[in-house]
Amino acid sequence: MSQKYHIVTYGCQMNVHESEKIAGILQRMGYTETAQNDDADIIVFNTCCIRENAENHAFGNIGALKKLKKQKPELIIAVGGCMTQEKGKTEILKKKFPFIDIMFGALNFEELETLITRKKQEKKKVISIRETAGEIVENVEPYRTSYPNAWVNITYGCNNFCSYCIVPYVRGRERSRKKEHILAEVRSLVQAGYKEITLLGQNVNSYGANGTAGANFAQLLDEVAQIEGDFRLRFMTSHPKDFNEDVVKVMKKHDKICKLVHLPVQSGSNTILSAMNRRYTREKYLQEIQMLRAHIPNAEVTTDIIVGFPGETEEDYLLTEDLVKQVDFASAFTFVYSKRQGTKAATMDGQIPEDIQKDRIMRLVELVNTLTRQKSEKYVGKNVRILCEDYDKKKGLYMGRDEFGRMGYFESETDAVGKFVDLHITKANGISLYGERVKNTEEKE
């Protein structure tokens, strides 16, 4: 009887894909997946420390295993990812949760097999936190759970040091994978039937900046889009300081590339952008949007926005609202500033009271939701091509996204997962679309 594993993941899509790699390591060791802690022989927490709530959730869920560990002393509990990489956090975990068996960092998750073996042999706690990033390991085969979507890392780490962000301190300096490894991975995914490939990096636009990857990002994107097969291509995240016309021209050149850019603006105020160390201005950001839509008139943009950053005045906040209206984002991920120890912003004067932060985020969310609903309503009466991703059991409908990220729901007499489907949109509800599958159209398998 094989042993079982359960992985608990926190944070961004980068972490989700990293958990797929951790699952690949465990499966190679002979473990099989379970969704239940009680059934698991090893439980792995892949943590995030970008925002305080993710860290608090991790602490709560780890603590909840104390009783299970007493009942099953042979159970291995492993904690890794960004939180363990954060300075001083390993000691806190050791004191607070002495029943943790293995701790590893975000920079050495590929060593998990060795750490598990050591734990079983030595019968004692194993801690391995690499302080600096090493060479990129290319032989970790992920166990992908997201068909028909697949994520492909093109860079690791970050060089930007935004004043609110802890990523460079826990993920290390930026490293780019070699072009040939990325192309080979994408080819294998397309051959395996994956229909949507997303190139991942903290800042994809700086791919290859040190000259060792064999291409810059525009060149890489162009070559990936030339791979034969019926698939569509996305990339995230783009940093406004590096987003450029060469990339836009490649987007325009290839039908496979979705005409959607995730371009986090974070604030509409130059004062706050400077304090954030974002290294672009409001004017430069708006120029990039204008350039994008000059080349690709139907292009859409999504973004990230932080409100309540230290020193943000009401005037600064209103500049953000104004920028949101000018750009007319397809959607926006909105956040209240969260103080992270170890970052420059955590020591800044002018920390914003919670009640003001809450007021601003509520106003911003209302604005974003209003604009998003208006965009959704424009879909009604039109035909849209979506990639069906899953079946929603609660709604009793299939679901999938168009190239601009809008989710569409529909009925189908046959299994539509993994297929491109044409929908006639009959209703819009917030960010969601509802439609009827168009008959007598060519739908590629």
Contact status, residue 399 vs residue 432, Cβ threshold 8 Å: no
Angstrom distance (rounded) from CA 301 to CA 404: 8
Measured distance CA(427)–CA(276) in Å, rounded: 40
**Mean pLDDT value across residues 164-169:** 92
Measured CA to CA, the distance from residue 254 to residue 277 in angstroms comes to 34
Residue 86 has pLDDT above 70, yes or no: yes
pLDDT above 70 (res 352): yes
Mean pLDDT within 211-239? 96
* pLDDT bracket for residue 440 (50, 70, 90): low
Q: What is the mean pLDDT of residues 397-410?
A: 97
- Predicted pLDDT of residue 139: 84
Per-residue pLDDT at 32 exceeds 90: yes
pLDDT in the model for residue 431: 87
| Distance, CA of 407 to CA of 75 (rounded, Å) | 40
Confidence category of residue 1, pLDDT binned at 50, 70, 90: low
Range in 38-42, 56-60, 389-393 with the lowest mean pLDDT: 56-60
Structure tokens at 135: 């060479």
Which pLDDT belongs to residue 134?
76
Question: In 3D, which of 314, 326, 311, 243 has the Cα closest to residue 276?
Answer: 311
Q: Cα–Cα distance between 387 and 421 in angstroms, integer?
A: 6
Q: Which residue has the higher pLDDT, 133 or 128?
A: 128
CA distance linking residue 187 with residue 135, whole number of Å: 23
What is the Cα–Cα distance from 131 to 118, expressed in whole angstroms?
Answer: 20
Q: Mean pLDDT across the stretch 212-219?
A: 95
Residue 444: pLDDT over 70: no
Model pLDDT for residues 55-78, shown as the tens digit of each residue: 888 999 999 999 999 999 999 999
Other beta carbons within 10 angstroms of residue 53's beta carbon come to 11
User: Which of 136-150, 244-258, 358-372, 383-397 shows the lowest mean pLDDT across its residues?
Assistant: 136-150
pLDDT at 409 over 90: yes
Q: How confident is the model at residue 210 (pLDDT cuts 50, 70, 90)?
A: confident
If you ran DSSP here, which 8-state letter would residue 344 be given? G
User: Residue 49 — very low, low, confident or very high, per pLDDT cuts 50/70/90?
Assistant: confident
Q: Which residues lie closer than 8 Å to 69 by C-beta, 6 or more apart?
A: 75, 77, 99
Tokens 């949007």 belong to 289
Average pLDDT over residues 109-129: 94
> Is it the case that residue 400 has pLDDT exceeding 70?
yes
pLDDT of residue 442: 47
Name the helix (H) or strand (E) containing 292: helix 282-295
Find the radius of gyration of the CA atoms of the chain. 23
Tokens encoding 163: 């004043």
Pairing of strands 260-262, 42-47: unpaired
Greater pLDDT, 145 or 299:
299
* 308-327: pLDDT as tens digits: 999 999 999 999 999 999 99
